[in-house]
Structure 1
Amino acid sequence: MTNLLEKKSLKLPLELDQIKNMIPHRYPFLLIDRVNELNPGVSGVAIKNVTANEPFFQGHFPGEAIMPGVLIIEAMAQLIAVIYVSKALVEVESQETSNDINYADRVGYLAAVKNIKFKNKVVPGDQLVLRAKVVGKMGVLSQVQVWAEVNGKTVVEGSISVSEKM
């Protein structure tokens, strides 16, 4: 699939405008800036540049800005959405059907967050490297191993279950 990925509209890295065409999230809730690696339907690596002007830093926490853990989980879930939508995009393009499909409508839902461990704070100036890999599927549910790193050190790890949109 990598060759097809390179030949069609999913040339890596995926920049912000391409990501916005794939998932429905928008500022201030679009939490991934670029997708550097992508194996459609299987895995991906994205980045979130954490800046001091993020709206959540105004209240979390005054005097000690820390990116909320729930937003790190959301960023990982958005990467998972890109992984799944990219699979649909590659499948449709391989069949050379219409390009009038709204891929953002294919984003499923967060079903469960399991065994998430926060190992370090994420603060302004950090570049959060998000990683996700599908490790199992049962019916419409998929189990995805996720982790995030700053400067090569894991800051968050665990698993997320997502459901396909029906």
Structure 2
Amino acid sequence: MSVLSVQEVMEIIPNRYPILFIDAVDELEPGKRIVARKNVTINEEVFNGHFPGEPVFPGVFIIDALAQAGSIALLMQEEFKGMNGYLGGLNKVKFRQKVVPGDVLRLEVEITKLRKNAGLAQGYAYVSEKKVCEAEMTFIIGAK
């Protein structure tokens, strides 16, 4: 059972279709850790051009899904409620395998450092038990 539904996610972050990449939050420790999921479906617009005959979910979208998950973890802290989370930087990004329609991305983000309105996080994306992506992320928290 989900901790947050997609409707509740949309109350926290401003992203909307076609750029909302969180379908549910399964685990959440505000300001510390989140596990969310993204169902990759063939009817997503990106598959019209990426790539015809061999649909592949773009790596930049996997990173954005991780960033959205991290933003939720940060914005659920009392002092950041009602604010926006912005991706401020990326380090050590690695893609390990393709993500295709029918896959379910499990997005795990751990906040490793938090100071005032900025944070560092480590994010991992999995399909089943296979790690498909990892990245160090910097977040900036700002007003809406």
TM bucket, shorter chain: over 0.9
Match of 2:92 in 1: 115
Where 2:114 maps in the other structure, the secondary structure is: strand
Q: Contact (CA 8 Å) 1:84, 1:107: kept in 2 or not?
A: no
Q: Which amino acid aligns with 2:140?
A: S
Report sequence identity in percent.
40
Match of 2:63 in 1: 73
Equivalent residue for 2:122, pick from 138, 145, 159 = 145
Equivalent residue for 1:127, pick from 91, 104, 113 = 104
Deviation at 1:28, TM superposition (A): 0.7
Q: Contact (CA 8 Å) 2:75, 2:85: kept in 1 or not?
A: no
Match of 2:40 in 1: 50
Deviation at 1:139, TM superposition (A): 4.7
Deviation at 1:17, TM superposition (A): 0.7
Give the TM-score normalised by structure 2: 0.93
Q: Distance in 2 between matches of 1:153 and 1:59?
A: 26
Match of 1:157 in 2: 134
Q: Which has the higher strand share?
A: 2
Deviation at 1:153, TM superposition (A): 0.7
Q: Distance in 2 between matches of 1:109 and 1:15?
A: 21
Give the TM-score normalised by structure 1: 0.81
Where 2:100 maps in the other structure, the secondary structure is: coil
Q: Which runs of 5+ in 1 are unaligned?
A: 1-10, 93-102
Give runs of ≥4 in structure 1 deviating > 4 Å: none
Q: Distance in 1 between matches of 2:47 and 2:88?
A: 27
Q: Which amino acid aligns with 2:104?
A: Q
Q: Distance in 2 between matches of 1:44 and 1:108?
A: 15
What is the aligned length?
Answer: 143
Deviation at 1:136, TM superposition (A): 1.6
Deviation at 1:107, TM superposition (A): 1.4
Deviation at 1:137, TM superposition (A): 2.9
Q: RMSD of the TM alignment (CA)?
A: 1.7
Q: How does 1:23-102 map to 2 (within 5 A)?
A: 23-88=13-78
Q: Which runs of 5+ in 2 are unaligned?
A: none
Q: Contact (CA 8 Å) 1:36, 1:45: kept in 2 or not?
A: yes
Deviation at 1:86, TM superposition (A): 1.1
Q: Which has the higher helix share?
A: 1
